[in-house]
A and B are shown apart, each in its own frame.
Chain A
Amino acid sequence: MLKRMIKKSSLAACVAAVSMLAMSQSVLAVDLTVYTAVEAEDLARYAETFNKDHPDINIKWVRDSTGIVTAKLLAEKNNPQADVVWGLAATSLLLLKSEGMLEPYKPRGVEKLDKKFVDKGAVPTWVGMDAWVAAVCYNTVEAAKHNLEPPKTWSDLLKPMYKGHLIMPNPNSSGTGFLDVSSWLQMFGKKQGGWDFMDRLHKNIARYTHSGSKPCKLAAAGEIPIGISFAFRGAKSKAQGAPIEIIVPAEGVGWDMEATAIIAGTDKLEAAKKLVDWSITRKANEMYNTGYAVVAMPGVARPVEHFPDNLLEKMIKNDFEWAANNRKAILAEWLRRYDSKSEAK
């Protein structure tokens, strides 16, 4: 056993030596550490497309879910490890911005983007890539079993027939959940109307999940007829053959965007700027369009299969700054109202 171990470790040493040799050959290239929350399956494609134009920059991806990447960046505040963030929620980037962690930079060609997708600072600190839009996943098979009608609006979801048939992410552990809550507050009234809506919705909710994609996947699997989630997830599940419809409620839907920013203090500023410049080009926007129906550059997006086509017009005028500056207060209020009783629902 021990001998085998020694053999194994000397093998590991050989592998290490070889890989170091391999690395020293590409010594001319710059390594950029890029933090991201983009879906795992898209990363290789993004890097490959980028490298066609910039073969001299190596992207070292550090990928995790939005919450964990944000926690990681904040934890490393005094000792940043990332050079660039490419593909993280704008809400998270606002949080980093208010900690002074982002390097303001006006990328070449930023004026071609939809204004919604650019930070409003004098010199923008982040630029958007694509939108990530809330939607309702509706399982037609399970709904038929319970004699449900497809909801058309958010208010429809308050009807008694949906009681126990709804599921949504908990805003305290999911970015998608917060996006829903902040959009309802903006649509129905920040002081009163939004909370009234949620009070009544809460009565119909079977339970809250920790992640934003889970409600849609649970709806796709028939575990629950209706999941409040996001359109991208719904389209993917539908493409896999799940019996679901993606419903965009008529009042409008909340959204967040995936965005790009440079981490202040990086010693690879030139390469970082090149990446951010490229990330807003037409080519890059076409690349995002493969999965996302709404991208930052107007006129680029082609309809994506299974995505509802009225998505862009239904996106609300989202006040990210308000959402970021009131996030803590909103979450505390949500906890107080809907989480203080821990009854099993």
Chain B
Amino acid sequence: MSAPAANLTNRSAAPLIRPKTSKDDRIMLGFILVICLYLLITLALPLYAMLSKSFSTFAFDLSNFEFQVDAGDGWSEPLSAETLNQRLNKFSPAELATSSDGRLGVVDLFPDFSFRSPTMYRIRQVNLKSSFLFGSERVADTDWHEYSSNDFRRIVLRPSASIGLENYRTYFSTPSLFHSIENSLWIATLSTIITVSLAFGFAYALSRSTMRFKGIFRLIAMIPILVPSLLPGIALVYLFGNQGMIKGLLLGESIYGPIGIVIGSVFFTFPHALIIIATALAISDARLYEAAIALRASRWKTFWTVTLPGARYGLISAAFVVFNLVITDFGLPKVIGGGYNMLAVDIYKQVIGQQNFEMGAVVSVVLLIPALFAFTIDRIVQKKQVAQLSARSVPYEAKPHRQFDWICLIYCSLVAIFIVGLIAVCQYAALIKFWPYNLSLSLANYNFEVMDGGGWDSYINSIQLGLYTAVAGTLVVFIGAYMVEKINGFATTRSAFQFLAMMPMAIPGMVLGLAYIFFFNDPANPLNSIYATMGILVICTVTHFYTVSHLTAVTALKQMDREFEAVSASLKQPFYRLFSRVTVPVCLPAILDISIYLFVNAMTTVSAVIFLYSPDTALASVAVLNMDDAGDIAPAAAMGMMIFYTNVGARLIHQFVSRNLVRRTQAWRVA
């Protein structure tokens, strides 16, 4: 589905004659502004809220606490904790920086403290910006409080909030945190190289050979799109875990760690790379190959001088898409990463494990950087691409070559076995009663009601989310794309809209989800009421997958000549009549593609919704993760396979509906 990305670059040149803005244009502008506003509220503002959260710091403000001591000779003069600290040089400013749940014992500031001594202590706060705890009792006033030495050791100070860069300083001085950057970059790079090479070979075989079963190979290669990214992780546990079926193949290495993450990443990113590379290889000019043959270039030389350069933009684009998918993925490293820390998992650990939202926001900002970087480079490269296919091109047609076709067939079969194998292992695991001690078949693992994760309700919820997202998302995306493509004038608004529509692709799901907590869970936010409802999940999913849907719609709309608008205007027909009578029917295949894309992704997404689901709106994909987390691995595989079959079903319905509708509405295409 990322294929349309390749087509974005050749933006249609602005029409030569620009009519004055009409009433239609103003209405269209209204639509654009509404959808702009939607993207602002669901994307820009939450990200801003997250960014500001990452600057919200907590530190112990020692100047705010004052002490008096009575060692039997009356109360001493009040001394602030700051003064005491300066005298002793006990805590450095870095040690005083903390998080929202920081606590600091006070007895360290009194070198001759003994809890057995009869000394009495008093503490008070200068203002109400901080508080202290007696045991776990919170004290937040400015009165003097008196304690015996035995009680005084139970006093801990709480931090006060301010704004600054301390969180970032803490992040980069904590090795266990910033090492994840290196790990994430390394895993993403390695997976990208492997996936792109494998996908290139596969696409090459599909387009340059005359091997059999091409249709089946194409279908199989798309399977990973239909399952959550963590499902291959579960399959790998069954294959290579300590009780794994073929664990000997790893030669004693552990699957929990980089090896598992890379294998799983190759699995789930393979179709994304394949679509892009296959598109790039498909548009090749046979005349170049004829020239190569005429010049007696070897097959090998032709490959390096014709095939590869022709596909280079596709390869670069595929590399960045894969890199982005791997570095932002959260489910797979969580399931099979073992002790190997990655950025996306760190966000989860900070937020769910330690309730340290500020540090979660910092890691999110860090994760945003490589993702934005990859995205920007990809955009620049795309702009450089020039049309390869001119009107005089002759499409390349592969000629039979016995030996080469056999090699291609064997290669594609191996890849297909890898993909189908992992899925089959999951299905097998889901049906086994108690691996590895009781291998009889049973449906017990489908009894989701007795497991963590939300039971069968979560499956129903996921289907609902998929349908709502498909309907609402397609409406918003297609109307937005139509208005922005067909409006006259308003160049600034249009480019602002295009920019907003491209943004979601660069935002990792984890980051978007966390940003939604900060933005929508704020009681001061008038949209607070949608928090913890199905609504926020739909909005989040639509926004998360906005870009590719938008590009699909734009590509389809570009194929329609602007003359339609001109004719309709000269016939004094309002634009909405043209829209409903002509544009929508003509673009129907693209519209259906957008909705199936949104449905499938809503079924499989984990990263964006993991922070947003509520007990009433638990989702199947999250249930897979939670059941695996609790150690119920077989039921997790079972639920994962339910998602797979549902998506296969949805695809079949989609195909059936498209074929019928296309036959009715698109007769002109065939003719």
A and B form one complex: yes
A100 to chain B: closest CB distance in Å?
5
Residues from chain B with Cβ under 8 Å of A220 in the complex? 631
Once bound together, how far apart are the Cα atoms of A138 and B383, in whole Å? 60
Residue B615 at the A interface, CB < 8 A? Answer: yes
> Are A207 and B615 interface neighbours, CB within 8 A?
no
> Are B437 and A243 interface neighbours, CB within 8 A?
yes
Residue B150 at the A interface, CB < 8 A? Answer: no
Residues from chain B with Cβ under 8 Å of A217 in the complex? 630-633
Once bound together, how far apart are the Cα atoms of A209 and B256, in whole Å? 11
> Are A344 and B340 interface neighbours, CB within 8 A?
yes
> Are A40 and B338 interface neighbours, CB within 8 A?
no
> Are B180 and A342 interface neighbours, CB within 8 A?
yes
Residues from chain A with Cβ under 8 Å of B175 in the complex? 336, 340
Once bound together, how far apart are the Cα atoms of A224 and B98, in whole Å? 37
> Are B243 and A223 interface neighbours, CB within 8 A?
yes
Give the residue name and chain of the B residue nearest to A75 (CB): B521
> Are A342 and B176 interface neighbours, CB within 8 A?
yes
Residue B167 at the A interface, CB < 8 A? Answer: no
> Are A344 and B176 interface neighbours, CB within 8 A?
no
Interface residues of A in 63-78 (CB under 8 A from B): 63-65, 67-68, 70-71, 74-76, 78
> Are B436 and A221 interface neighbours, CB within 8 A?
yes
> Are A71 and B174 interface neighbours, CB within 8 A?
no
Residue A274 at the B interface, CB < 8 A? Answer: no
Q: A98-B158, A172-B353, A222-B243 are in contact. List 7 more A-B contacts (CB 8 A).
A: A173-B348, A173-B349, A210-B353, A221-B633, A223-B237, A241-B438, A344-B257
Residue B455 at the A interface, CB < 8 A? Answer: yes
Residues from chain B with Cβ under 8 Å of A339 in the complex? 176, 339, 341
B547 to chain A: closest CB distance in Å?
24
A342-B339, A342-B340 given; A214·B629 CB < 8 A: yes
Interface string of A224-241 (1 = CB under 8 A from B): 100000000000000011
Instruction: Find B631's partner among A1, A65, A208, A218 (CB 8 Å cutoff).
Output: A218
Residue B99 at the A interface, CB < 8 A? Answer: yes
Give the residue name and chain of the B residue nearest to A320 (CB): B136
A and B contact pairs by CB, cutoff 8 A, 16 listed: A40-B455, A41-B449, A75-B517, A99-B138, A210-B349, A215-B631, A220-B631, A221-B631, A222-B436, A223-B237, A241-B437, A325-B136, A328-B98, A336-B176, A340-B176, A341-B179
Residue in B176, B351, B450 whose Cβ sees the most chain A Cβ within 10 Å? B176
Residue in A41, A98, A327 whose Cβ sees the most chain B Cβ within 10 Å? A98
The 5 nearest A-B residue pairs measured at CB: A217-B631, A344-B257, A173-B353, A79-B523, A214-B631
Residue B154 at the A interface, CB < 8 A? Answer: yes
> Are B338 and A207 interface neighbours, CB within 8 A?
yes
A11 to chain B: closest CB distance in Å?
13
Once bound together, how far apart are the Cα atoms of A240 and B445, in whole Å? 13
Residues from chain A with Cβ under 8 Å of B614 in the complex? 62
A15 to chain B: closest CB distance in Å?
13
Once bound together, how far apart are the Cα atoms of A115 and B180, in whole Å? 45
Once bound together, how far apart are the Cα atoms of A224 and B615, in whole Å? 32
Once bound together, how far apart are the Cα atoms of A141 and B450, in whole Å? 27
Residue B357 at the A interface, CB < 8 A? Answer: yes
A130 to chain B: closest CB distance in Å?
19
Residue A120 at the B interface, CB < 8 A? Answer: yes
Residue A23 at the B interface, CB < 8 A? Answer: no
> Are B257 and A345 interface neighbours, CB within 8 A?
yes
Residues from chain B with Cβ under 8 Å of A141 in the complex? 437
Residue A18 at the B interface, CB < 8 A? Answer: no
A219 to chain B: closest CB distance in Å?
9
Residue A121 at the B interface, CB < 8 A? Answer: yes
Residue A61 at the B interface, CB < 8 A? Answer: yes
Give the residue name and chain of the A residue nearest to B170 (CB): A332
Instruction: Find B259's partner among A8, A216, A344 (CB 8 Å cutoff).
Output: A344
Interface residues of A in 84-103 (CB under 8 A from B): 94-95, 97-100
Residues from chain A with Cβ under 8 Å of B180 in the complex? 342
Residue A183 at the B interface, CB < 8 A? Answer: no
Residues from chain B with Cβ under 8 Å of A62 in the complex? 614-615
Give the residue name and chain of the A residue nearest to B451 (CB): A40
Residue A285 at the B interface, CB < 8 A? Answer: no
Residue in B105, B180, B341, B629 whose Cβ sees the most chain A Cβ within 10 Å? B629
B96 to chain A: closest CB distance in Å?
13
Instruction: Find B103's partner among A61, A173, A325 (CB 8 Å cutoff).
Output: A325
Residue B44 at the A interface, CB < 8 A? Answer: no
Residue B452 at the A interface, CB < 8 A? Answer: yes
Residue B117 at the A interface, CB < 8 A? Answer: no
Residues from chain B with Cβ under 8 Å of A328 in the complex? 98-99, 101-103
Once bound together, how far apart are the Cα atoms of A207 and B348, in whole Å? 18
Residues from chain B with Cβ under 8 Å of A325 in the complex? 103, 105, 133, 136, 156
Give how many A-B residue pairs fall within 8 Å (CB-CB): 165
Residue A331 at the B interface, CB < 8 A? Answer: yes
Residues from chain A with Cβ under 8 Å of B517 in the complex? 75
Once bound together, how far apart are the Cα atoms of A41 and B454, in whole Å? 11
Residue A343 at the B interface, CB < 8 A? Answer: yes
Once bound together, how far apart are the Cα atoms of A224 and B254, in whole Å? 12
Residue A242 at the B interface, CB < 8 A? Answer: yes
Once bound together, how far apart are the Cα atoms of A20 and B140, in whole Å? 44
Residues from chain B with Cβ under 8 Å of A173 in the complex? 348-349, 352-354
> Are A222 and B437 interface neighbours, CB within 8 A?
yes
A326 to chain B: closest CB distance in Å?
7
> Are B136 and A100 interface neighbours, CB within 8 A?
no
Interface string of B13-57 (1 = CB under 8 A from A): 000000000000000000000000000000000000000000000
Once bound together, how far apart are the Cα atoms of A270 and B453, in whole Å? 32
> Are B353 and A242 interface neighbours, CB within 8 A?
no
A221-B435, A223-B242 given; A208·B339 CB < 8 A: yes
A41-B450, A61-B615, A78-B523 given; A345·B254 CB < 8 A: yes
A5-B471, A221-B435 given; A324·B259 CB < 8 A: no
Interface string of B631-649 (1 = CB under 8 A from A): 1110000000000000000
Give the residue name and chain of the A residue nearest to B613 (CB): A64
Give the residue name and chain of the B residue nearest to A207 (CB): B338
Interface string of B325-355 (1 = CB under 8 A from A): 0000000001000111100000011011111
Residue A335 at the B interface, CB < 8 A? Answer: yes
> Are B137 and A95 interface neighbours, CB within 8 A?
no
Residues from chain A with Cβ under 8 Å of B128 in the complex? none
A68-B352, A173-B352, A221-B436 given; A210·B334 CB < 8 A: yes
Once bound together, how far apart are the Cα atoms of A162 and B636, in whole Å? 29
> Are A342 and B452 interface neighbours, CB within 8 A?
no
A62-B614, A99-B138, A324-B136 given; A335·B657 CB < 8 A: no
> Are A213 and B631 interface neighbours, CB within 8 A?
yes
A35 to chain B: closest CB distance in Å?
9
Residue B289 at the A interface, CB < 8 A? Answer: no
Residues from chain A with Cβ under 8 Å of B176 in the complex? 335-336, 339-340, 342
Give the residue name and chain of the B residue nearest to A120 (CB): B135
Residues from chain B with Cβ under 8 Å of A99 in the complex? 138
Give the residue name and chain of the A residue nearest to B175 (CB): A340
A218 to chain B: closest CB distance in Å?
6
> Are A71 and B136 interface neighbours, CB within 8 A?
no
Residues from chain A with Cβ under 8 Å of B579 in the complex? none
Once bound together, how far apart are the Cα atoms of A312 and B135, in whole Å? 26
> Are A121 and B523 interface neighbours, CB within 8 A?
no
B15 to chain A: closest CB distance in Å?
33
Residue A174 at the B interface, CB < 8 A? Answer: yes
A22 to chain B: closest CB distance in Å?
17
Interface string of B410-432 (1 = CB under 8 A from A): 00000000000000000000000
Give the residue name and chain of the A residue nearest to B335 (CB): A210
> Are B136 and A97 interface neighbours, CB within 8 A?
yes
Residues from chain A with Cβ under 8 Å of B434 in the complex? 221, 240-242
A214-B631, A241-B438 given; A74·B254 CB < 8 A: no
Residues from chain B with Cβ under 8 Å of A98 in the complex? 133, 136-138, 158
B380 to chain A: closest CB distance in Å?
33
Residue A204 at the B interface, CB < 8 A? Answer: no
Give the residue name and chain of the A residue nearest to B357 (CB): A75
Residues from chain B with Cβ under 8 Å of A94 in the complex? 136
Residue B241 at the A interface, CB < 8 A? Answer: yes
